[in-house]
Amino acid sequence: MVRDTFLRGFYRQFARILTIGAESRAHYRRLGYPEQRLIFAPYCVDTSVFAPASGAPAIRSEFNLPDDQIVLLFFGQLRRAKAPIKLIAAPPVTNCRARGLRCFFGRR
């Protein structure tokens, strides 16, 4: 209750608030923020960037990665909250039948 009271006052100072989904929007509405001042701006990824590229065979060759080997790239901070370790556990859960798995972690 104290938290909600604080947040109502805090949110009132903003001319607009970006929401990332239905739950986010419901949160602001529940606290009385006007619907007309909420702007939908979801987290999004341009999936066309991840489409198979013509250079994929060359990259696989450079890193000695067979075609039947899954490669996972993790882009993000290596923090416990991001759970990068789940990448290692993912193939058995997804019934992956690939010959092998390589994970590349890096820092920009």
**In the chain, pLDDT over 90 holds for what percent of residues?**
34
- In tens, the pLDDT along 59-68 reads 778 888 877 7
Q: Are 14 and 27 in contact (CB under 8 A)?
A: no
- In tens, the pLDDT along 57-107 reads 787 788 888 777 776 666 667 777 777 777 666 665 555 555 555 555 555
Give me the residues paired with residue 18 across strands. 39
- In tens, the pLDDT along 28-53 reads 999 999 999 999 988 776 667 666 66
Tokens 């604080």, residue located? 6
Please report the pLDDT score of residue 108 as a whole number. Answer: 52
Quote the pTM value. 0.44
